[in-house]
Amino acid sequence: MKFVYKILLWTIIIMAVAFGLSGYLFVNSVFEKSLEREVAQALDGSNILRFAFETAALNIPTKYNVLQDVAVEQIGSKLESSGQGTERYLRLSSEEREVLYQSIGFAQDTELLEQIEEDARIWQVVCQAEHYYVHTGIMVNALDRNLYLETLEDVTEVFEERTMGFSVYRRVTLAMLAASSAIMFIICTWLTKPIRLLTGATKRMARGDYSYRAQKVSNDELGQLTMDFNSMANVLEGTIAELQEAVRSREDFIAAFAHELKTPLTSIIGYADLLRSRKLDEEKHFLSSNYIYTEGKRLENMSFRLLDIIVTKRETIDPQPVAAQMLFQYLKDMFSGNKDQKLRFAFDSGTVYAEANLLKSVLLNLVDNACKASSQGGLVEVFGRRMEDAYAFQVKDYGVGIPEEELMKVTEAFYMVDKSRSRSRNGAGLGLALCVEILRLHESELEIESRVGEGTCIGFVIPDKKVRGGTDGAEGADRQKAAEETLLQSEIAYKTLQKKESRDRKGRDNTEADSGAGDEDSREGGEPGAATGQKPTRGGGIQDGPEHNVAGQDAGPPDGAVHSGAGQESGWDGRKQEEADGNAET
């Protein structure tokens, strides 16, 4: 049964009970008052008859000292004849309660007669031949005789009025119930409209229309329920959209991963089959082996990046104070050999609270991506700005840019805007995905602005976060002291490096001459790259070994260089920074 019908049914039941009970009480109250009035009149009439009987007995000529039965009959007959037209009956009985006179039609019941006592008036209502009478009894004292006077007063009209009152009230009650049912049906239909709208909304959403919202038609509790339902629907729609996006991302990830595996594996299998099935000359044999080695390194790099992302998602960090100068000097050193783009660094001195190696990996990825997106000789700018309670980094290039519809996808694993350009430089589309996870650990996120043909600007803000553990207790004090010593050593190392750069700048001409002589010796010593583990490619260039390729990796230097960041930090005196014209500007 519908809710509106339940409300209507129970309303009708309650109204019917209320009308019936109130009607019964009302009609019965009127009846009792009318009956009391009739009884009072009957008792008054009985008193009048007693007085008339006693008066008539005194007026009878006395031949005897005692009133005779014949005289009682005569008086009774006269009293009855005097009350004609009043529907009144009499009965006179002797001391022994034997009937001396009785009106025609008087009931033969003697129960009330047995109860009559001196100075007492009693009465009862009796039903005789479908008529109702008030039966009264009283004692009469006349001429030393105690007689009993009984009367019957017809009160049938009172009972008929009660019956008619019940009948009329029943009809009125039925009419009122019918009218009130119609009105209540309209009211219930109006009151339950929000429920029907909510029901329709749930059915629409069950069919997959998650954008549908219920209409609010009232400001009461049901209206609040509608608002809460719509709020829940908004959250549900967002959650479902996120789940669908997660499923899509997972499917895209699997498809991209399979494709990224297929491409190098196809090359490896093809060249391996070539080496196995044919006898090649030394040059072709070397080139085929080099292709297998290059694709294998790409697979290795991709697997390391995936492992980094998975590990980063599960770990926490302990931020330590790091001098901003160290981070930017590290970037200068890593890209000092980049002759294809101009790098410009501008930063404020200050302290960054972060995990140094992870933050270096982020900056390397961003700068390397900027270099890949820039044309030959393009400018890449790296900025650092000290804020009130944070340190902001920004990497800007003036390259190809990213289409607006691609901005939301560039941080997904294996996603590449220009796949051919990225693969040609050994990219796998994992750099920004790793950056996002690292910045999440630092309570930060990437902010990307880009225009096609104008370039891209990617930045993030590292909030100041004091060393965990506080200063309470021996352990907290030790951690704080270690952090301060680390910051002090960083500043000392930076100042030492500045002095060394000044000395190196003075001897640059001698250094370049020594470098030229070393290159000549290397060429005379055998194959290109023999001394450093580098191998020549088909185009005559140098294919970097596991630890030296900067522009050829997806996120800058290979994992070996990134993960050895601590060594880079503490061993700057062994690294030489060369600042060629246009290559690095501070």
Q: Is residue 348 part of a domain?
A: yes
3-state secondary structure 421-467: HHHHCCCCCCHHHHHHHHHHHCCCCCEEEEECCCEEEEEEEEECCCC
Q: Is residue 27 part of a domain?
A: yes
Q: Is residue 271 part of a domain?
A: no
Q: What is the pLDDT of residue 90?
A: 87
Question: b/e per residue, 521-535, with b = 16+ CB within 10 A?
Answer: eeeeeeebbeeeebb
- The three-point CA angle 183-188-192 to 5° equals 155
Least Cα distance to 433 among 462, 410, 401 occurs for 410
Report which DSSP code applies to 574: G
Q: Is residue 297 part of a domain?
A: no
Provide long-range contacts, Cβ within 8 A and 24+ apart, for 480-484. Answer: 483/320, 483/321, 484/321
Q: Please report, as a single letter, which amino acid is at residue 534.
A: Q
Answer with the one of 141, 176, 211 that is the final residue of a domain. 176
Q: Is residue 387 part of a domain?
A: yes
Least Cα distance to 298 among 264, 268, 273, 331 occurs for 264
Which two tokens mark 412?
Answer: 């997904």
Q: What is the pLDDT of residue 311?
A: 67
The continuous run of DSSP H or E covering 321 comes out as: strand 320-323
| Greatest distance between any 2 Cα atoms in the chain | 186
3-state secondary structure 507-551: CHHHHHHHHHHHHHHHHHCCCCCCCCCCEECCCCCEECCCCCCCC
d(CA 83, CA 60): 20
Q: What is the pLDDT along the chain (586 residues), one digit of tens a residue?
A: 788 888 888 988 998 999 889 989 999 999 999 999 999 998 998 888 888 888 888 877 766 667 788 888 888 888 888 766 567 888 888 888 888 888 887 877 788 888 888 878 889 998 888 889 898 999 988 877 888 899 988 899 999 999 999 999 999 999 998 998 899 889 888 888 888 888 888 888 888 888 888 888 878 888 888 889 889 989 988 898 888 888 887 787 677 667 667 767 887 888 888 888 888 888 888 888 888 888 788 777 767 766 766 666 656 777 889 999 999 998 888 888 788 889 999 999 899 998 888 888 889 889 988 888 888 888 999 999 999 899 999 999 998 888 887 777 777 766 665 544 444 444 455 678 778 888 888 889 989 998 888 899 999 999 987 544 444 445 545 555 555 555 555 555 555 655 555 566 555 555 554 544 444 443 333 333 333 333 333 333 333 333 333 333 333 333 333 333 333 333 333 333 333 333 333 3
d(CA 419, CA 421): 5
For residues 411 and 445, the answer to whether their CB atoms sit within 8 Å is no
Neighbours of 153 (CB within 10 A): 22
Q: Is residue 212 part of a domain?
A: no
d(CA 359, CA 461): 11
d(CA 220, CA 230): 15
Query: Which CATH number belongs to the domain containing residue 113 in this structure?
Result: 3.30.450.20
d(CA 170, CA 314): 79
The domain in which residue 149 lies consists of 3-176
Question: b/e per residue, 353-388, with b = 16+ CB within 10 A?
Answer: bbbbbbbbbbbbbbbbbbbbbbeeebbbbbbbbeee
What residues form DSSP beta bridges with 137? 122, 150
Answer with the one of 148, 176, 204 that is the final residue of a domain. 176
Q: Is residue 205 part of a domain?
A: no
Helix (H, G, I), strand (E, B) or coil at 353: strand
Query: Which CATH number belongs to the domain containing residue 449 in this structure?
Result: 3.30.565.10
- Placement of tokens 């950056």 in the chain: 435
Answer with the one of 155, 176, 197 that is the final residue of a domain. 176
Q: What is the pLDDT of residue 117?
A: 84
Alpha-carbon torsion, ordered 153, 156, 161, 162, to 10 deg: 100
Nearest-Å Rg of the Cα atoms of the chain is 57
Sign of CA dihedral 51, 52, 53, 59: positive
Least Cα distance to 565 among 326, 351, 390, 314 occurs for 326
The number of domains in the chain is 2
3-state secondary structure 97-144: CCEEEECCCCCCCCCCHHHCCCCCCEEEEEEECCEEEEEEEEEEEECC
d(CA 53, CA 80): 11
Q: Is residue 419 part of a domain?
A: yes
- Placement of tokens 């009329």 in the chain: 168
